[in-house]
Each structure stands twice: as C-alpha cells, then as structure tokens.
Amino acid sequence: MLGSWEYNLNKVDYDRGDFMTLNDIISTISAKKKNLFALSKDYKTIRYIDGDTYEDVVGKYVEPQFSRLHRSECGTPRFIIFSAPGATGKSTLAMHICHEYNGIYWNLPDNKIAEFSFQGAIAKAVGFQAMSNFIGKLVNGETFLVIDAFDEAEASSGRSGVEFFLRDLENVVGMSSNMCAILMARTESAIFIREFLEKNNVPYEHYEIGYFSEDSAKKYIKNRLARDNAAVTPVINDCIENQFAEIHRIFSEKEAREFLGYAPVLDALEKSLIEVKNTINILQNTASGENNCKIMFNIFDRILDREQMKFVKALKNKFDKHNIEINFDEVYTRSEQIGRIIGMKLINDTTLFSEISDTIPDEYKDDYMEVVNSQLPQHPFILAKNKDNAVEYVFSGPAFRDYVVACGLAAEDMKSFIDEWLEADGKYYPSQMLIEFYGALSKNKISGMDIPLMYNSFKAHARVGEETSLTISGDADDCYAGFRLNRMEYDPIEMDFTVCDVDDGIRINQITNCYIDVDGDVYVGNTSDVARINNSYISCSRLYWGSNQILIEAYSPGTCTLFADQFASLPNVTPRFDVKADKPSNLKVSANNINSYYKLLSHKSDRNVEDNADDFTVFATVIRRIFNSLRCHSKDTPARKSEYIDNKIIGTSKKKKQILESIMKEGIIFTDDQGWLYKLDRDKLAEFKINWNDVKNGEFSTLNDLYCKIQK
C-alpha cells in the first residue's frame, strides 16, 4: 500500500469534469521582459526558448484540457505543479509557457541534481556577478522558471536529490509573494513534490494535464499535416472526420475520448493520412471492442507496407535495365525496415540487423543498398533534424519510437543492443504504449531484465488518484508478472506476462506497492540511478544490490518486507542505505548475512513469520501469498498449479496446511476437475466481503469475517 502521506495526497479533491484553460491557470503571470538575462550559450540546461527552438519542437501549440487538483490555502502560490501521464506534452507545455511569457526553461535531468544545487546551477547559467540580481528578480516576480522533467531527475538523483533541490529552491524564494516557478512531472513524482510542499507549508497549485478535446485533437492532426508540408484539403478533412467516427464505433464513448485525446495516437493517425490514404479501410476492418494496440499495429503495418511499395517502385526503376528476376515481396519487408531503423539509430549502420534478401543477386546488392540509403532517411517513422550543422534522426513521435523499441526487445538478435542503447541514452522514458506493443510482439512473455522498463511504461497510464501495482510470483518452471492499474473512471487495466528467464534474475529499480515472491534472484537498481523500494514485499533466493544509493521506505498504513537467503552486492557497488519508516516495525528485513548490513540490522526479522507470529498475522500472510500466486488468464477465474502452491508456499508447515484446508472448506479456493489447479471463487470472496486486491497489497481488514468464522 501507499504510505499515509502519499495515500492522502493521491486522493482526488476536485471534479475532473471542471476543465480550465491555460490562461485561467497562469492569469497571474504577465509576459516578462524578453531575455532579461544574458544566459550562458554553452550551458543549455537553463535557457530561453527562442523562435527557432519553439518552431522546431512545438510548432503550433494545441491546448489540452487542464484540471485543478489542489490550491493551497496558506497564501499566494509560489509554485505551480503540472502533472500528467506519460507522453501527454509536459515538455511541449513547458516550452510554450516559456516562449509566450518569456520564462526561463530548465531541463532538470541534464545534471545530477544531487551533485548540483539550485544556486550552483543558476550561477553557471547567469554568472556569479549576476546571481543576486537574478534571485532578486525571481523573488519580486520580474522573471520565473519552468523546471521540466522532475520524474527523470528523480530516476537519476533519487528522491533525496529532488528534496535537496526543492529545499534549496524554497530557501531562495521563500519570502516571495509571487509565482516563482512552474514544476513539470509525471504523476508519481508530482505527488512526492506535493508532499514536500505540504510538509513545509509552501503555497502551491497543482494541475493535471489531460487529453485533447475532440476539436483540439483534430486541430493537432491538421497542424502536424502542415508541419509535414501536406495540404489540408476538403478530402483530408473528410478523412479525419471519418477516422474519428470509426474510432467511436470501435470503442465505448469514454474509451474513444481517451484514445483520440492522446498525442501519440494522433501522430500515428496523421502519418497514416499522408502515407496510406485509405486509413478508413484500416479502421473499418477493425472489430468493435478491439484494443488500442491492435489499431496502432494495423496503422503501423499499413504504413510499413506502403513504404515497401514505394521502395519496390524505386528498385524496379533502378534494375529496369537489368534482366533479372526478383521476388519483390521479400525485399524491404516490415521487419527489414524496423531493423534498418534500429541500426541507423544505434550506430548509424543500416546493415547491422538486416540482411539483403537472397532474391537479390550478390552483384546487385550495392545497388540495392543505394536505394535503401536514399529512402530510409525519409521513412515516416523518423524525422531529420539539424543539430549543430549535422543531421540527426529522431522518431516522429513516442508511438513510433516505442513500437520500434518493442520490436527490438522482442527480437533475439537485437535485444542486447537495444538494452545497451537504452542504458546509454539515459533520457528514454517510455509511454504507456511500450508495454502494450511489447506484450503483443513477445506474445506476453517478459524478460526479467525488461521489468523496470515495462513497469515505468505501465505507470505512465496513471493519473493522480490512480494506483499501480506489480506482482511477480513463481520459479524457473512457472513464473508470472502481473501489472494492475486501479482507475477511477474505468475498469482496472491488467496485463499478465510469463517471465521467461527467471534463472537470469528479476530486475527492479524503483518500485512502489509491489509484491515479489520468487524462487530465484532479484537485482535492485543500477549504477547510474538511485534505487527505491517503497511499501513493497520481496521474498527471493538472493537479493543483489546494484546501486550505490538505495532508498527503502515503509510508511503506514503500508509495510515493507525484504526477505532473502542471502544479500550480495554487484561488482564495484558499495550500497549506501537510506531507510525511512514512520514505525520501525513497518520494515522487516531478513537474510543469513544480515549482520554485515548494519544500517538494516535494527529491522532484522524472522523470515518464518508465517509460523511464528500471532494467529491472525499467520493466517493473513499465508492467504496473501496464495492470492498473489494466482494468475488471471483473460476472463478465466484466477488460478495456479496446485503443485506450486503446495510445494513453494505451504511446504511442510502444518499451520499453513491447515489454513489452506480451511479456505478450501469454505469454497474460496477449489480444485479443477483434473485436480492440478487451485482456483479462486470470486462469488465466495463477495460472500465474505473480501477484497482480493486489498489482501494482495497487504491490507487485511476484509479478512476478519472469514477468520472469525474459521476460528469458531
């Protein structure tokens, strides 16, 4: 469960139907004097957004919907927080505000904030001599900052680094009665910023960036078409209207609004209008009730097929004078295009992951590559940008990027290269589409190494007031990872994967509200980021510390449990632990070599708590492990192999066996006809008023009625 501060701040205190405009929100900010300070040209972390940058990144700004989550009652707000799910335009909004109101843009993840204070960064941007003048004008409202990507900064510098930065910022502007800074973050990081401001009585406002309205979504597509030099003719307008009508046919009204309000989807629809022309046919061939991923795949496939047709036409022109037979269906296929894009992005080598089809004679392969190298830079999935007088290729949008990344991760010959690329990039934050693409391409199999990336992607769905959880349970023979998002306005989102390489270990970096119970090894963190374990349960064979900084949090009403046979550190890692718990008993740690970790010793616990605690704790803990081991298959009832539960959870313990027998007697757990599966009866749960997900997350109050009946 979430900690009490995070839990309370995550409650929604507004009506999401009451939308506001950007002008309403920042009405207190008048346009500031242009380029008030001579900012260092070499230090691009802090800068003004000039016309060229604005045109390149933003173009024509289309305003999404905004909702107010909170306004402090302790004075004029010094800070405005904008939060949003992933890939909903936080950076675009930040640059738009800076350009329109002459604010100063600060890309926070450019430096590790734990190593670079607020004042130190300002001194580097304006120079030491101008620093006091800058702070004075910031305090009296003559200028303001827009600080972007707190979520990415938290990943690299940890929450302690973000807290240090916020404290330094508040120390500088604490006496101001003006709005001094706008803070941009994904949902989870925004809640943490709110927590800090609330605790320190700092006045602030918090707004959520929503999706586009339907009219704004259509305007967004038309602006993108203009950017790509495509005329918005009456025919195109009709196509857009028909696209939207078909999507309303496929989805429910709420789902259609959300799907059509999401920028990456609109990017794909815009590209399809240019490349495919007959996109209505794609949508008309999509069955009602299909998911987002299926529609996006249909669009991507049609774009790739269109590129193949264009390539074949160019190849035929080039080979026209040669009397050779070629099977053109085998050239520049979908997979070849993706492989060449990945090669070009990784190491500027279009040949690394794609071999030329055998249908092309060896003596003509150089000619073939000439056509590839001519056409690939114009691929709809990528854009050419001028950077420092050199061409840099970027993806056309988050949906195209995440589709290509998912293709690479799902391909054995490319996966290790993609992993290295993402690790070296350091700034890749996936949209919620990555995990959907990955699941479809991998046939719902997941590598333990990919879990942190997919966890971040899944969390990108969340808005304030919504809670994500991750459950990993099993062993090398049978292990699954289940992602769940409890949503306010819709049914929960659930995605289940089979973990295909448990023997290679489960990786985690920063987790909240997670349950991991595996007969295998778990690796926590990496050397470039701060690891965080918040109110989670981990039970494993060996727990490896992979980060030099590890934050462990256990806040009521939740708890945190770390049980392992052995703790160990990866080479060149010396873990430093920062433990935060409002009650010492909220954190339980157990390992055979726990005495070597003095910072954790005060939380030493007996791993066999299921046998040695009070009766209700034993009862609830065993049921929690059983519930978390059950796996959902589509709409089937949750189930797990009886052999796994009998051997891995119950074992030889008489007490655990009695608990299993008692809940089977009540019909909550039953066996299938063959006797090799344990299944959960949801109707029996309702009869006893048991909330399955609450129990899985360590909230046991709904088990009281069942416990009392069994005790009688």
Q: Which residue has the higher pLDDT, 203 or 634?
A: 203
CA 165 to CA 157: how far, in whole Å? Answer: 10
Provide the pLDDT for residue 4: 42
Residue 270: domain span: 214-288
What total number of domains does the chain contain? Answer: 5
Residue from 707, 689, 691, 640 nearest 669 by CA: 640
Q: Would you state the structure tokens that stand for residue 395, as one six-digit string?
A: 């993806």
Q: Which residues of 580-589 are buried (b: 16+ CB within 10 A; e: fewer)?
A: bbeeeebbbb
CA 646 to CA 243: how far, in whole Å? Answer: 53
Domain CATH code at residue 189: 3.40.50
Residue-wise pLDDT for 485-526, tens only, equals: 988 777 788 899 999 999 999 999 999 999 999 999 999 999
The answer to whether residue 134 is domain-embedded is: yes
Confidence bin at 18 (pLDDT 50/70/90):
low
> How would DSSP label each residue in 554-595?
E-TT--EEEEEEEEEE-TT---EEEEEESSGGGEEEE-TTGG
CA 362 to CA 210: how far, in whole Å? Answer: 54
Domain end (from 156, 180, 210): 210
Contacts of 364 (CB under 8 A, 6+ apart): 319, 322, 324
Provide the pLDDT for residue 350: 83
Confidence bin at 633 (pLDDT 50/70/90):
low
Strand partners, 670: 679
Give a three-class secondary structure readout of 373-385.
HHHHHHCCCEEEE
Residue indicated by tokens 């269109």: 306
Domain end (from 341, 373, 396): 396
Q: Please indicate, yes or no, whether residues 379 and 275 belong to a single structural domain of this protein.
A: no
Residue 398 host element (H or E): helix 398-410
CA 440 to CA 407: how far, in whole Å? Answer: 10
The answer to whether residue 144 is domain-embedded is: yes
Res. 357: pLDDT tops 80: yes
Q: Please indicate, yes or no, whether residues 250 and 361 belong to a single structural domain of this protein.
A: no
Residue type, 444: N
Q: Which residue has the higher pLDDT, 157 or 587?
A: 587
Residue from 456, 526, 509 nearest 186 by CA: 456
- Asked if residue 64 lies in contact with residue 212, where contact means CB atoms within 8 angstroms, the answer is yes
Domain end (from 153, 188, 210): 210
β pairing state of 576-581 and 506-508:
unpaired
Provide the pLDDT for residue 1: 40
Confidence bin at 302 (pLDDT 50/70/90):
confident
Residue indicated by tokens 């797990």: 640
Residue-wise pLDDT for 232-290, tens only, equals: 888 888 888 988 888 888 777 887 888 888 888 888 888 888 776 556 666 666 555 55
Q: Please indicate, yes or no, whether residues 448 and 387 belong to a single structural domain of this protein.
A: no
Q: Please indicate, yes or no, whether residues 633 and 528 belong to a single structural domain of this protein.
A: no
The answer to whether residue 498 is domain-embedded is: yes
Q: Please indicate, yes or no, whether residues 169 and 223 belong to a single structural domain of this protein.
A: no
Res. 664: pLDDT tops 60: yes
Q: Please indicate, yes or no, whether residues 694 and 596 belong to a single structural domain of this protein.
A: no
CA 199 to CA 278: how far, in whole Å? Answer: 55
Domain CATH code at residue 659: 1.10.10.10
- Asked if residue 512 lies in contact with residue 524, where contact means CB atoms within 8 angstroms, the answer is no
Provide the pLDDT for residue 179: 92
Contacts of 233 (CB under 8 A, 6+ apart): none
φ and ψ of 301, to 5 deg = -60, -40
The answer to whether residue 480 is domain-embedded is: yes
φ and ψ of 397, to 5 deg = 175, 170
CA 512 to CA 29: how far, in whole Å? Answer: 36
Q: Give the rounded distance of the alpha carbon of 70 from its chain centre.
A: 24
Q: Please indicate, yes or no, whether residues 164 and 40 belong to a single structural domain of this protein.
A: yes
Residue type, 201: N
β pairing state of 549-554 and 531-534:
parallel
Provide the pLDDT for residue 427: 76
Q: Please indicate, yes or no, whether residues 645 and 598 belong to a single structural domain of this protein.
A: no
The answer to whether residue 706 is domain-embedded is: yes
| Dihedral in degrees, nearest 10, Cα atoms 273, 276, 279, 282 | -150
The answer to whether residue 415 is domain-embedded is: no
Q: Which residue has the higher pLDDT, 155 or 625?
A: 625
Q: Please indicate, yes or no, whether residues 38 and 148 belong to a single structural domain of this protein.
A: yes
Res. 71: pLDDT tops 50: yes
| Interval 123-150 mean pLDDT | 93
Res. 17: pLDDT tops 60: no
Confidence bin at 393 (pLDDT 50/70/90):
confident
Q: What's the predicted TM-score (pTM) here?
A: 0.80
> Which of 4-18, 159-173, 256-270, 299-313 has the highest average model confidence (pLDDT)?
159-173
Provide the pLDDT for residue 49: 95
Res. 12: pLDDT tops 80: no
Residue from 699, 630, 697 nearest 660 by CA: 630
| Interval 120-142 mean pLDDT | 92
Confidence bin at 182 (pLDDT 50/70/90):
very high
> Which of 150-164, 320-334, 535-549 has the highest average model confidence (pLDDT)?
535-549
Residue 600 host element (H or E): helix 598-601
Q: Using alpha carbons only, what angle is made at residue 445 by residues 441 and 448, rounded to the nearest 5 degrees?
A: 120
Q: Would you state the structure tokens that stand for residue 296, as one six-digit string?
A: 């996006």
Provide the pLDDT for residue 278: 58
Res. 421: pLDDT tops 80: yes
Q: Would you state the structure tokens that stand for residue 587, as one six-digit string?
A: 């954190």
C-alpha distances (whole Å) from 633 to each of 292, 322, 444, 483, 494 are 20, 55, 11, 13, 10
Q: Please indicate, yes or no, whether residues 374 and 469 belong to a single structural domain of this protein.
A: no
The answer to whether residue 406 is domain-embedded is: no
C-alpha distances (whole Å) from 56 to each of 45, 227, 392, 402 are 17, 10, 13, 21
Q: Please indicate, yes or no, whether residues 321 and 279 belong to a single structural domain of this protein.
A: no
Residue-wise pLDDT for 23-67, tens only, equals: 889 877 776 778 889 999 888 899 999 999 999 888 899 999 999
Q: Please indicate, yes or no, whether residues 457 and 587 belong to a single structural domain of this protein.
A: yes
**Which range is least confidently modeled, 90-104, 156-170, 268-282, 563-577?**
268-282
Residue 641 host element (H or E): strand 639-641
Res. 612: pLDDT tops 70: no
The answer to whether residue 3 is domain-embedded is: no
Question: If DSSP codes are grouped into helix, strand and coil, which group holds residue 210?
Answer: coil
Residue 204 host element (H or E): strand 204-209
